[in-house]
């Protein structure tokens, strides 16, 4: 406390000094300086203090999620999801290797925090892999991936994902690139318009365990025309039970899409009534395709409607009260607000202007509430706690602030470089926290020291508590930031664990907790090892095998002190795992290289960390002391 006071005093003295120095300058400069001082104070988290929010932002094709604190914007953790990550040994042990399914990367786009009654409940974080059609679930108890579902049947380019329904009944998935269905079928691309299909779908989430399921009994898919589905959002409050996805390429074109798919003046937002879909599922009105339930809208009226939307729409976002659906046509200067109630009325009145493969198209004029002149290239919208919406403008490099209900644009702030997504803490829930908006920029020229042709990425932290938005900070973010979600830190305070408690968090049948249980057991050509790691030794420290043996090591870190990690690396065997306190991991490999291979702890764990080592001794085939050629 005393130290903090000293620091705050120190800063104040500096500011007074700065103020005196600048007193003689032009008033303009002084104003600029005091704004900078204000901004510095607003983002300054004194040593020992903690940030107010966790920010989870996706790392695109790095396959990772990065965690930062708001308002400091300090990067505090990397969660490897679709990509092996040596720092935590992710993708090297048997379990995570199996989860990755042989893929070495993924394209992580849209993180989603689990919700209860439309608010973040701090249980899980989901994220999609646009490239390999998967979704992952991270447990916020320990910030680790617990499940990767997929590649999901029939889906191709899972971009419109992951968005959760009000009580995390489902997470969304959707096809960005239409393909012939069942996936795996061959049809010449010339027959695209008739024989290729899009899929929008909901993966079921077990309410207790978070387990995601899509099979013959769980979740479902909806067969769609060959449009490109882009982004989605789930309804809430009055619109609970519906999910919305934007799509482009209503032209059903192939080739150079920037031309061929920009012919129509309007594309669509697909509105899917999942409660209705559930009724059809109960009646057995679906087909099993590739092991999953697929509903054909032609045979299931009332499940899908299309709402015309400004050309090439991108983001679709539902307001906190669930009444408004905001769809942004990225080639226009307006964003369209749809009225959910009007949508229901238009459906009731069969106010249709046509159909697409049996899916009714609603009359635009009947469902739209307003066209908000936000500016050029609107992409995504977030909401605050005061009834305002914030729309990112890619072309204009700005954020527009506008009022829900009156639809007037009340403020605009320029962004350093083309903005993509934006994030208001809890800004897609029923109760946004407001306070900040983070602009996730697509390009960032000149905001950091240059490091060559590829410029460091920058995200900008903006204060939204006042009438006017105020830029506070240029933060470095790992490439390539797509969507981000931020949650009040106190929501996770009692949820995050400090160690894996023996028998409570660690129920691994291969865990051992005492040195006397450490052992090496041979069964035929398999050598199985139960090993412990504790400051600062491995037990057993010696593993003797024959060349060609399969080696299985169950390694338990028996420490019960937070942050006491141990690593386990075998030289030249490409083995590297990390065990957190109380964690057990299994390592499997074939001892195909003869000789003596040291293993050692990779995480600095004590003054005697360097002493934490042992040997893998591989007897050459033939039994002699030298390898046979």
Q: Provide the binding-site residues for ligand RUQ, judged by CB under 6 A.
A: 109-110, 159, 314, 379-380, 420-421, 482-483
Nearest-CA neighbor of 19 among 7, 3, 35? 35
How far does the chain reach from its first CA to its final CA, in angstroms?
68
What distance in Å separates the CA atoms of residue 575 and residue 571, rounded to the nearest whole number?
Answer: 8
320/420 with CB nearer ligand RUQ = 420
Least distance (Å) from ligand RUQ to the CB of residue 369? 23
396/549 with CB nearer ligand RUQ = 396
Name the helix (H) or strand (E) containing 486.
Answer: strand 484-488
CA-CA-CA-CA dihedral for 350, 351, 354, 359, to nearest 10? -50
The site partner of 420 among ligand CUA, ligand RUQ, none (C-beta below 5 to 8 Å per kind) is ligand RUQ
The site partner of 612 among ligand CUA, ligand RUQ, none (C-beta below 5 to 8 Å per kind) is ligand CUA
Cα distances (angstroms) measured from residue 264 to each of 72, 239, 305, 356, 507? 45, 28, 18, 14, 57
The site partner of 314 among ligand RUQ, ligand CUA, none (C-beta below 5 to 8 Å per kind) is ligand RUQ
Among 167, 262, 264, 536, binds ligand CUA (CB under 6 A): 536
Rule CB under 6 A: say whether 541 interacts with ligand CUA: no
CA 550 to chain centre: 36
478/559 with CB nearer ligand CUA = 559
490/611 with CB nearer ligand CUA = 611
CA-CA-CA-CA dihedral for 485, 490, 492, 494, to nearest 10? 180
Least distance (Å) from ligand CUA to the CB of residue 79? 23
Question: DSSP label at 12?
Answer: H
The site partner of 379 among ligand RUQ, ligand CUA, none (C-beta below 5 to 8 Å per kind) is ligand RUQ
Q: Closest residue (Cβ) to ligand RUQ?
A: 482
Stretch that binds ligand CUA, among 183-191, 201-209, 224-232, 597-605 (CB under 6 A): 597-605
Rule CB under 6 A: say whether 200 interacts with ligand CUA: no
What distance in Å separates the CA atoms of residue 556 and residue 538, rounded to the nearest whole number?
Answer: 10
Rule CB under 6 A: say whether 578 interacts with ligand CUA: no
Least distance (Å) from ligand RUQ to the CB of residue 441? 12
Rule CB under 6 A: say whether 601 interacts with ligand CUA: yes
Rule CB under 6 A: say whether 605 interacts with ligand CUA: yes
Among 609, 617, 620, 627, binds ligand CUA (CB under 6 A): 609
372/578 with CB nearer ligand CUA = 578
Rule CB under 6 A: say whether 556 interacts with ligand CUA: no
Least distance (Å) from ligand CUA to the CB of residue 605? 3
What distance in Å separates the CA atoms of residue 291 and residue 274, rounded to the nearest whole number?
Answer: 20
Rule CB under 6 A: say whether 613 interacts with ligand CUA: no
Least distance (Å) from ligand RUQ to the CB of residue 268? 17
121/480 with CB nearer ligand RUQ = 480
Least distance (Å) from ligand RUQ to the CB of residue 393? 12
Least distance (Å) from ligand RUQ to the CB of residue 127? 11
Least distance (Å) from ligand CUA to the CB of residue 78? 20
Least distance (Å) from ligand RUQ to the CB of residue 269? 15
Return the SS3 of 97: helix
Q: Which residue has the tokens 């209900």?
A: 405
The site partner of 603 among ligand RUQ, ligand CUA, none (C-beta below 5 to 8 Å per kind) is ligand CUA
The site partner of 601 among ligand CUA, ligand RUQ, none (C-beta below 5 to 8 Å per kind) is ligand CUA
The site partner of 483 among ligand CUA, ligand RUQ, none (C-beta below 5 to 8 Å per kind) is ligand RUQ
What distance in Å separates the CA atoms of residue 547 and residue 286, rounded to the nearest whole number?
Answer: 54
Return the SS3 of 166: coil
Residue 112 pairs with which residues in a beta bridge?
126
Question: DSSP label at 498?
Answer: S
Residue 368 pairs with which residues in a beta bridge?
338
The site partner of 61 among ligand RUQ, ligand CUA, none (C-beta below 5 to 8 Å per kind) is none
Least distance (Å) from ligand RUQ to the CB of residue 422? 10
Least distance (Å) from ligand RUQ to the CB of residue 130? 7
What distance in Å separates the CA atoms of residue 574 and residue 582, rounded to the nearest whole number?
Answer: 24
- 2-23 and 27-43 are packed helices; what angle lies between their axes, rounded to 10 degrees? 170
Return the SS3 of 518: coil
Query: Residue 386's CB: how many other CB atoms inside 10 A?
Result: 11
The site partner of 605 among ligand RUQ, ligand CUA, none (C-beta below 5 to 8 Å per kind) is ligand CUA
DSSP string, 300-360: STTSEEEEEEESSEEEEEE-TTS-EEEEEETTSS-EEEEEHHHHHHHHHTT-EEEEETTEE
Q: Let me know: does 90 contact 81? Beta carbons within 8 Å.
A: no
CA 410 to chain centre: 31
CA 468 to chain centre: 30
87, two tokens: 């720092």
Q: Let me know: does 201 contact 149? Beta carbons within 8 Å.
A: no
Q: Which residues bind ligand CUA (CB under 6 A)?
A: 536, 566, 601, 603-605, 609, 612
């Amino acid at each position: 406390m005393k130290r903090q006071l000293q620091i705050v005093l120190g800063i104040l003295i500096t500011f007074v000094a700065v103020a005196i120095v600048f007193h003689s300058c032009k008033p303009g400069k002084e104003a600029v300086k005091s704004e900078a001082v204000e901004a510095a104070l607003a983002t300054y988290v004194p040593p020992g203090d903690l940030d107010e929010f966790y920010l989870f932002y996706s790392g695109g094709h790095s396959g990772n999620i990065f965690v930062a604190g708001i308002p400091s914007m300090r990067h505090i953790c990397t969660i490897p999801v679709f990509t092996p990550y040596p720092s935590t040994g992710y993708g090297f042990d048997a379990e995570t290797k199996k989860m990755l399914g042989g893929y070495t990367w993924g394209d992580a786009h849209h993180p989603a925090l689990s919700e209860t009654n439309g608010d973040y409940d701090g249980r899980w974080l989901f994220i999609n892999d646009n490239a390999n059609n998967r979704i992952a679930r991270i447990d916020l108890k320990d910030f680790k991936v617990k499940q990767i579902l997929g590649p999901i049947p029939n889906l191709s380019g899972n971009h419109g994902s992951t968005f959760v329904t009000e009580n995390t009944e489902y997470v969304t998935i959707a096809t960005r690139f239409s393909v012939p269905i069942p996936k795996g079928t061959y049809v010449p691309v010339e027959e695209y318009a008739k024989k290729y299909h899009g899929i929008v779908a909901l993966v079921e989430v077990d309410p207790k365990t978070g387990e995601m399921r899509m099979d013959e009994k769980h979740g479902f898919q909806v067969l769609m025309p060959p449009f490109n589905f882009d982004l989605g959002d789930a309804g809430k409050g009055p619109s609970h039970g519906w999910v919305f996805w934007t799509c482009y390429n209503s032209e059903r074109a192939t080739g150079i899409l920037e031309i061929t798919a920009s012919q129509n003046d309007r594309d669509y937002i697909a509105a899917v009534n999942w409660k209705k879909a559930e009724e059809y599922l109960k009646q057995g009105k679906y087909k099993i395709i590739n092991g999953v339930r697929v509903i054909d809208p032609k045979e299931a009226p009332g499940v899908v409607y299309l709402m015309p939307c400004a050309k090439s729409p991108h983001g679709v976002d539902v307001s906190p009260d669930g009444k408004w659906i905001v769809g942004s046509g990225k080639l226009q200067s307006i964003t369209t607000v749809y009225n959910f109630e009007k949508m229901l009325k238009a459906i009731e009145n069969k106010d249709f202007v046509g159909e697409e493969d049996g899916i009714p198209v609603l009359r635009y004029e009947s469902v739209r509430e307003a066209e908000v002149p936000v500016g050029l290239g609107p992409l995504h919208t977030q909401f605050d706690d005061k009834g305002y919406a914030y729309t990112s403008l890619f072309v204009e490099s700005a954020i527009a602030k506008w009022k829900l209900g009156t639809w007037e644009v009340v403020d605009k702030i320029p962004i350093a470089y083309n903005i993509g997504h934006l994030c208001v803490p809890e800004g897609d829930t029923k109760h946004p926290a407001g306070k900040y908006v983070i602009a996730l920029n697509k390009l960032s020229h000149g905001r950091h020291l240059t490091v060559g042709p590829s410029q460091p990425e920058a995200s900008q932290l903006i204060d939204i508590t006042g009438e006017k938005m105020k830029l506070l900070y240029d933060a470095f973010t790992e490439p390539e930031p797509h969507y981000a979600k931020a949650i009040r830190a106190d929501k996770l305070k009692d949820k995050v664990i400090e160690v894996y408690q023996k028998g409570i968090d660690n129920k691994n049948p291969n865990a051992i907790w005492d040195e006397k249980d450490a052992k090496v057991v041979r069964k035929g050509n398999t050598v199985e090892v139960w090993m412990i790691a504790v400051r600062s030794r491995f037990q057993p420290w010696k593993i003797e095998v024959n060349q060609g043996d399969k080696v299985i090591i169950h390694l338990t870190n028996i420490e019960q002190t937070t942050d006491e990690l141990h690593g386990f690396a075998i030289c030249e065997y490409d083995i590297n795992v990390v065990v957190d306190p109380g964690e057990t991991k299994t390592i499997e490999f074939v001892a195909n290289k003869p000789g003596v291979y040291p293993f050692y702890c990779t995480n600095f764990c004590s003054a005697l960390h360097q002493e934490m080592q042992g040997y893998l001794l591989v007897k050459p085939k033939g039994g002699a002391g030298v390898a046979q050629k």
